[in-house]
Structure 1
Amino acid sequence: MMGRIAVVDYGVGNLKSVTNAMDYLGLKTCITSDARELELADAILLPGVGAFPDAADKLRVSGLDQVLVAQAQQKPILGICLGMQLLFDQGEEVRECKGLGLVGGCVRKIETNLKLPHIGWNSLSFPNPSPLFAGVEEGNYVYFVHSFCGVAADPATVIAQTDYGTPVVAAVQKGNVYGCQFHPEKSGEVGLQILRNFGGLNT
């Protein structure tokens, strides 16, 4: 297992449930908004709840956007829910807004006839292999809460999909950068396995 995982505190994340899950797995975490802490950490977790532009603005004003882009070249980063969406080039929620540009593509409202927001358990399929899903089986269920989803520019970056009246990107990977649209910390044993896998990267 890796050393310390920095959980980014930029004012829009449900930090407690994520850190509780990591603690349960015996993974060391520190909640921080300090650039130096992010540089010293072995991995970074970017949570997020709320609207894309608010979160992107907070990252930019704090300067953490540049820190995250730099650190993504050196260590594993996992974005969860809105944190995953922020990894993309841009979002279209409320207004067009730049993301971190770590994964090619944009974030758009889910085009479905089903009710939004999409809240509940949905099964995963895996179009491309990833160490993030080691020990997770095709068809396993995880917990989603969202109305917007990533649209990847390169299909090779999509490591998990779900179906919500239309195919929806559930997880992405590009190099050291990983993202889960669902909440692994609220997804029972399957989610814990995914977080355990993240904790085992870089060892």
Structure 2
Amino acid sequence: MIAIIDYDMGNLRSVQKGFERIGHNSIITRNPKDISNASHVVLPGVGAFKDCMDNLRNYGLVEPILNVIKSGKPFLGICLGLQLLFSEGEEFGRHKGLDVIKGKVVRFPSELRTLPLQVLSRGQNLAPANSQIKDFEDKLKIPHMGWNDIKIERRPPALSDIQDGSYVYFVHSYYVVPEDKAVAATKTNYGIDFVSSIWKDNIFACQFHPEKSQKIGLKILKNFGDTRG
């Protein structure tokens, strides 16, 4: 059974539906016993870094999360669930995270530039047909929202049979900067190259949303669910 951690941050049902579609049973829970007894654990999240950490503490979920990670069970972080694993976040001040992965979470620079073919929305070029490249460069927005590709640096079980350059769905204004660059599993370009997923021991965590990434995302969820601890 897969435990999806409920701490009142994010659309947990969409994650559960993703697992249902590929035949894996899951429960949405904040019960430490359920989390401890699960075969796999998922930490999703949408919202502000500090608010999410406050909720994890208030619900008494920090210790169960750290314990299940130490146990070696497959652990998946999604979006803010990736960021919370890091030492600290810089959203609205500096706030301590779970400190499982040494590093920090920082905001995208205010001015981002890229070439038209590097950023896609629903698989389509964002640049109007009559636009100049420079005009399009100046229009990159924060948050980074829509479809973008992943460049595979290392291949954890969750990325088995996932093609390099596959497109997945992002919604975020902050990105992770690990101290140990070797934990990066994928990188993505949005004006700058950033780490879009990490892999360390039993942990795979991604900035993108596999539950919103159609066939590629469902394959990632299936790979995770099939992973043995």
31, 34, 37: which one pairs with 2:34? 37
Q: Is the 8 A contact 1:48 1:55 kept in 2?
A: yes
TM, length-normalised to structure 2 = 0.85
147, 151, 156: which one pairs with 1:121? 147
Secondary structure at the counterpart of residue 53 of structure 1: helix
TM, length-normalised to structure 1 = 0.96
145, 156, 161: which one pairs with 1:130? 156
| Amino acid in structure 1 at the alignment position of 2:18 | A
Q: Matched residues in 2 for 1:90 and 1:198: separation?
A: 26
Secondary structure at the counterpart of residue 151 of structure 2: coil
Deviations 1:29-87 (A, max 9, x none): 01100000000000100110110000001101222011101110121110101111111
| Amino acid in structure 2 at the alignment position of 1:104 | K
Secondary structure at the counterpart of residue 202 of structure 1: coil
93, 106, 109: which one pairs with 1:108? 106
Q: Matched residues in 1 for 2:15 and 2:75: separation?
A: 14
Deviations 1:158-182 (A, max 9, x none): 0011000000111011111111100
What is the alpha-carbon root mean square deviation over aligned residues?
A: 1.0
Q: Residues 42-53 of structure 1: matches in 2 within 5 Å?
A: 42-53=39-50
Q: Is the 8 A contact 2:152 2:165 kept in 1?
A: no
Gaps of 5+ in 1: none
Displaced runs of 4+ in structure 1, greater than 3 A? none
Q: Which moved more, 1:143-152 or 1:58-67?
A: 58-67
84, 87, 90: which one pairs with 1:89? 87
Q: Which moved more, 1:128-137 or 1:146-155?
A: 128-137
Structure 2 counterpart of 1:148: 174
Structure 1 counterpart of 2:77: 79
Question: Are 2:212 and 1:175 equivalent residues in the alignment?
Answer: no
Q: Is the 8 A contact 1:105 1:150 kept in 2?
A: yes
Q: Matched residues in 2 for 1:178 and 1:87: separation?
A: 11
Question: Are 2:60 and 1:63 equivalent residues in the alignment?
Answer: yes
Aligned length, in residue pairs: 200
User: Quick check: which has more Rg, 1 or 2?
Assistant: 2
Q: Matched residues in 2 for 1:191 and 1:86: separation?
A: 21
Q: Matched residues in 1 for 2:187 and 2:141: separation?
A: 18
| Amino acid in structure 1 at the alignment position of 2:208 | F
| Amino acid in structure 2 at the alignment position of 1:161 | K
Secondary structure at the counterpart of residue 138 of structure 1: coil
| Amino acid in structure 1 at the alignment position of 2:5 | V
Secondary structure at the counterpart of residue 72 of structure 1: helix
